[in-house]
Structure 1
Amino acid sequence: MAETGLPNGWEVRHSNSKNLPYYFNEALKQSRWEPPAGTDTEKLKKYMAEHHSAGEIAQMAAGANGNPVQGKIRASHLLVKHKDSRRPSSWRENNITRTKEDAMGIILGHEQRIRAGQTSLGDLATSESDCSSARKMGDLGFFGKGDMQKEFEEAAFRLKPGDVSGVVETASGLHLIERLE
């Protein structure tokens, strides 16, 4: 297993069309957005934080940032899933077994670090979010009413640009949301 934590034959590549990292196996001629089975998620997490982290991702997001669409907002989030989440797996863990209470402890710790100014939501999302948007610092792009789960949407639309929500619970798990635009 390489420094990436991916199984032999797999590597991290960068999609020019989506401006995101993905996983590729030359021998199998196979590519995928989610890590393959057998990935050491802790190693992958460290690798992604070092090689696909904040500054680079911020530049990618800024380059893709078009004009705001009427009635839409742009937000990023950090998601912590638990065993009762709608899909209890992610790029970080194939099978999430933590309890909702454990997930709440984790996300409250993240919130505390963000509010204390130790890190930003986007920087933390790149390595800690259970959503594939982690590759883009948690950036979900522009969305309007009806595009997201009700609880998420209501919290996001209440925020002013630059504000970070408290913990928001949806069927997907527990979120911290930052309104970008």
Structure 2
Amino acid sequence: MDDSGLPQAWEVRHSNSKNLPYYFNAIDKVSRWEPPQGTDTEKLKKYMATHHSASQGLNTARPEGKIRAAHLLVKHRDSRRPASWREAQITRTKEDAMSIIKGHEQKIRSGSTTLGELATSESDCSSARKRGDLGYFGKGDMQQEFEEAAFGLQPGQMSTVIETASGLHLIERLE
């Protein structure tokens, strides 16, 4: 294991098509979005925050009918895909996930941190590398509950906890 916390033969690479990091096993020629079994997740969180998080530059024009939002996702064992870049298998209950995300919400609302800062190390979405920024999306691009909440916000506003099949979200409307 190196400073990334990944098992031997695994490395972090960057996807040009999705503009996100992924995990690659050079021996088996296997790639995946979630970290492999045996990953030291604490080391990986630090490594990814240092080497693979990028602040998004300001975009000058918003595409017609689209908004831009960031989110922080906390998955649980009943999520559609109970795995993430942080954990190969997520076993927490929905109640535990709710407790975690409520704690994150409290920190953000108190002003002690921002959603983007917390997302880089705490979000179970691969958008964590981009401070939770999902880029521009329009109606029909996201799960219904997520879309309704995001489109209901004004730029700069953050939602309460939103539940989707993916897990529990805090959403911040960026543009």
State whether TM-score is above 0.5.
yes
For residue 44 of structure 1, give the secondary structure of its aligned residue in structure 2.
helix
For residue 136 of structure 2, give the secondary structure of its aligned residue in structure 1.
strand
Partner of 2:167: 173
Unaligned segments of structure 2, at least 5 residues: none
In the TM superposition, what are the counterparts of 1:82-97 in structure 2 within 5 Å?
A: 82-97=76-91
Partner of 2:46: 46
- Give the number of equivalent residue pairs: 175
Of residues 92, 96, 99 in structure 2, which corresponds to 1:98?
92
Q: Please tell me the residue identity of whatever aligns with 1:9.
A: A
For residue 63 of structure 2, give the secondary structure of its aligned residue in structure 1.
coil
TM-score, scaled relative to structure 1: 0.88
Between the aligned partners of 1:147 and 1:168, the Cα distance in structure 2 is 16
Q: 1:10 to 1:66 in 2, by over 3 A?
A: farther
Deviations for 1:143-162, whole angstroms, at most 9, x for unmatched residues?
11111111111110011111
Contact 2:34 2:87 in 1 (8 A): no
Offset of 1:71 from its aligned partner? 0.8
Unaligned segments of structure 1, at least 5 residues: none
Q: 1:25 to 1:73 in 2, by over 3 A?
A: same
Q: Please tell me the residue identity of whatever aligns with 2:64.
A: Q
For residue 127 of structure 1, give the secondary structure of its aligned residue in structure 2.
helix
Give the structure with the larger helix fraction: 1
Q: Which moved more, 1:35-44 or 1:16-25?
A: 16-25
Deviations for 1:50-74, whole angstroms, at most 9, x for unmatched residues?
3334xxx11xx217x4621111100
Between the aligned partners of 1:21 and 1:76, the Cα distance in structure 2 is 18
Partner of 2:61: 67
Between the aligned partners of 2:138 and 2:80, the Cα distance in structure 1 is 22
